[in-house]
Chains A and B, each alone.
Chain A
């Protein structure tokens, strides 16, 4: 149980274009999902907290107009990287916690999306 699916697994796009990444909880409902970014040989950096039906909460230094988050249902959150540039090339990973479990329960991670901007 507690499977998080992320799509696509990898994507290559041209500079200036936008890319949408989907994060789905397959066998549970998630009020809250978290989006992380990881550069090579670095740790996971939290970008934003996504809440179903409300605006996302962005971490300091993350541009909300560049990284658009939409959490339209209890099983789907999307991250859109707008006007992507080569420095946005990274490994983007979503995670979720099931509705009803204690908040100090572990997060379940998707398999990540490797974005390469050329």
Chain B
């Protein structure tokens, strides 16, 4: 397998906050990345962490703990348009290719 895990599905209410967790195992790590993907479309970049800690970008924040092999994506003030799949990926190898998790399908309901 790809040694990167995230929940398959999550549901949340419009206006709420949701946290999507991601754990990974790799011997060569160079960054943890979060992408959003709507059905039938290509992924769009959301946030990434190279060092431990929290990175905030508007409604989206991402956290990384390298020692624990753990990251999360925090989405605030959820909107209906946030219903999508959220993919975490770690960078690895000489060209820092991205290895993706299976994705978390988030459904936001009124």
Contacts and interface: CB of A to CB of B under 8 A. Distances in A.
Interface of A: 6, 32, 34, 36, 42-46, 49, 51, 57, 91, 93, 95, 97, 103-104, 106-112, 114
Interface residues of B, number: 26
A109 B33 contact: no
Given A34-B95, A46-B100, A104-B91, 17 more contacts: A6-B42, A34-B98, A43-B87, A44-B89, A46-B98, A51-B95, A93-B42, A93-B43, A97-B96, A103-B30, A107-B33, A109-B35, A109-B42, A109-B43, A109-B44, A111-B41, A114-B40
Q: Which 4 A-B pairs have the closest CB atoms?
A: A104-B31, A103-B96, A109-B42, A43-B102
A42 B45 CA distance: 18
Contacts of B44: 109
B101 to A, nearest CB: 6
A93 B42 CA distance: 7
